[in-house]
Amino acid sequence: MNAAPTFDALIDRIDGDAIRVRWTDGAWTGHEFAARIRGFADTLEGVGAQRIASRLDNGPEWLALDLAIRALGRVHVPLPTFFTPEQVAHALASSGADTLVVPAAAPVPDAFAALPARALGDGMRVLLLPSRPVALPDGTVVVTFTSGTTGTPKGVCLDAAALLAVAASLAEAARPLSPKRHLCLMPLSTLLENVGGLYAALLSDAEIVVPSLGEIGYSGAAGLDIPTLLACLHRHRPDSAILLPQLLLALVMAAERGLSLPDSFKFLAVGGGRVGETLVARAEAVGLPVHEGYGLSECASVVCLNRPGAMRAGSVGRPLPHARVTERNGELHVEGVRMLGYLGDDTPAEGPIATGDLGHIDADGYVHITGRRKHLFITAFGRNVSPEWVESELLQHPAFAQAVVHGEARPFNIAIAWPRDPAADDDALRAALDDINRALPDYAQVRDIVRADAPFTFADGLLTSNGRPRRDAILARHADAVDACYARHASEPAFFDHRQESAA
């Protein structure tokens, strides 16, 4: 690999006559992009901004703002647009942000209405915040908020070297396929898209396409309109994109139903949750070039990736050059690129980061993820079950849109689920469950379904900001229905005898 890049060098290579940024109704050449970066930097410098929070939709201005902050060596605090007012207030206070960049036309919350403001370009404004001093680790250039399992996400502090090391690894990994147009399908406030969709794409000299989230088909934290997504893909015909598992499933199901997908794809990186070997095989069968990976914010995003010429089904690939992965007592540990610390916490201890992810590394160095240590449950017969594994099987079936598997100290497992077709009757869901259970060992099979009373959403506290289920909240909300489900099966001795034999 070449020498480690710097942000100054990254910004310098933007300048030129070629198109570097596209969106639905416009484009910037390298010259225009670089001029916009310099203009934003001048404005931020003029108001004395040091820690700049942003709450913006995807678009070219997001890219230029982020790189302007990098050019100044200041701190960027990207906030998802779907954060609640309470989460925004928490993020601003805990990071010590002194400015907030918002769309010029967006209504300003009452708490910010009287703050001094300055125009930033044509479509944004900078609000000057009454911040209080908050200590950050030396070298911090970004504070990214993890999704977390509570309403107050953790802020992860990262330096420039960490961001660029990961970006350089990703650019090198994709190089054999030469992707020259990257479509940002995830919010740019997500570290994965920020690093992989902006920095890595620039290092690859690729065009970056940044439609708004609404033009992609998103609504809120978890809603997705498939026809809108397909229209976006055909409009922009990308070579590369980053997908969450549910987005990949949506594309696979569309293709399996005969809908057309662009033939331009060269490199589709998939991560952010358990994908499942079956879904990857289905994706390959419909011609999608899927490369499953794995990472975490504490390690500046991607750690492992299935790369061209180095792929293994069922794995998340080998570690990228900047990372080293080991396994201790079933849990994965990562060394190499790492965070500077969490907001408000002491500097983390030296040595490998314990990820909390369960898995193993095979003889050829491929990493396999099986679930989360904190989610592992033990059935009444002493069998360890990783719910993510079983849930991935459920969610790959057309019958189920959302599911959380439960069986802690119980004689069998159940799933709290929301069907893909809310009109599907119980017989249809049980038939689907029978299909799924045939591929699972007996201790992991799901005995029955508890229908969720509504889809799990971020707004009602049942999903994290990146769409993962908040298990305790979902179980608490459906506790009576779960208890009733177990009670219905309490008089089935044949079932319990079978389980006891299997556990013996």
> For residue 203, what pLDDT is reported?
95
Q: Report the run of H or E that residue 352 belongs to, with start and end.
A: none
For position 498, what pLDDT does the model report? 38
- d(CA 355, CA 333) in angstroms, rounded, equals 6
Furthest-apart CA atoms within the chain: distance in Å? 76
Q: Contact 380/331 with Cβ under 8 angstroms?
A: no
Query: Residues 6 or more apart from 499 whose CB is under 8 A from it?
Result: 381, 411, 412, 442, 443
Nearest to 291 by CA among 196, 200, 183, 173: 173
Helix (H, G, I), strand (E, B) or coil at 115: coil
Whole-model pTM: value is: 0.82
- Report the DSSP pairing between strands 51-54 and 75-78: parallel
57-60's contacts with Cβ under 8 Å and 24+ in sequence apart are 57/81, 57/103, 57/212, 57/213, 57/214, 58/184, 58/187, 58/188, 58/210, 58/211, 58/212, 58/213, 58/216, 59/23, 59/210, 59/211, 59/212, 60/21, 60/23, 60/26, 60/28, 60/33, 60/36, 60/210
Q: Among 2.60.40.10, 3.30.300.30, 3.40.50.2020, 3.40.190.290, name the CATH number for the domain at 376-503.
A: 3.30.300.30
Each residue's pLDDT, cut to its tens digit, for the chain (504 residues) gives 456 689 999 999 898 999 999 999 999 999 999 999 999 999 999 999 999 999 999 999 999 999 999 999 999 999 988 777 888 888 999 999 999 999 998 887 777 878 899 999 989 999 999 878 899 999 999 999 975 444 567 899 999 999 999 999 999 999 999 999 999 999 999 999 999 999 999 999 999 999 999 999 987 545 678 899 999 999 999 999 999 887 898 899 899 999 999 999 999 999 877 787 888 999 999 999 999 999 999 999 999 999 999 999 999 999 999 999 999 999 999 999 999 999 988 777 788 999 988 899 999 999 999 887 888 887 876 777 888 889 988 998 989 999 999 998 788 899 999 999 999 999 999 999 999 998 888 888 999 999 999 999 888 889 886 678 999 999 999 999 999 998 888 765 444 443 333 333
The values of phi and psi at residue 104, to 5°, are: -60, -35
As given in the structure block, the two tokens for residue 6 are 């710097």
In the block, tokens 């599907």 appear at 424
Pick from 244, 245, 291: nearest CA to 268: 291
Which amino acid, residue 189?
A: S
Picking from 28, 113, 91, 98, the residue whose alpha carbon sits closest to that of residue 62 is 28
Question: In 3-state terms, what secondary structure has residue 173?
Answer: helix
What would the CATH number be for the domain defined by 7-369? 3.40.50.12780
13 CB-contact burial (10 Å; exposed 0-12 / middle 13-18 / buried 19+): middle
| Identical topology for domains 7-369 and 376-503 | no
Beta bridge partners of 157: 143, 341
Question: Quick one: pLDDT at residue 375?
Answer: 84
Angstrom distance (rounded) from CA 413 to CA 449:
9
Tokens of 386: 């990783």
- The C-alpha atoms of residue 455 and residue 446 are separated, in whole angstroms, by 20
CA distances (Å), 359 to each of 326, 367, 372, 482, in order? 10, 7, 9, 29
Predicted pLDDT at 501: 35
- Residue 429's identity, in one-letter code, is L
Q: Where do the structural domains in the chain lie, given as residue ranges? A: 7-369, 376-503
Residues in the chain: 504
Please name which of 445, 434, 427, 428 lies closest in space to residue 499, comparing C-alpha atoms.
Answer: 445
Task: Give yes or no for a contact between 446 and 392, defined as CB atoms under 8 angstroms apart.
Answer: no
pLDDT at 267: 97
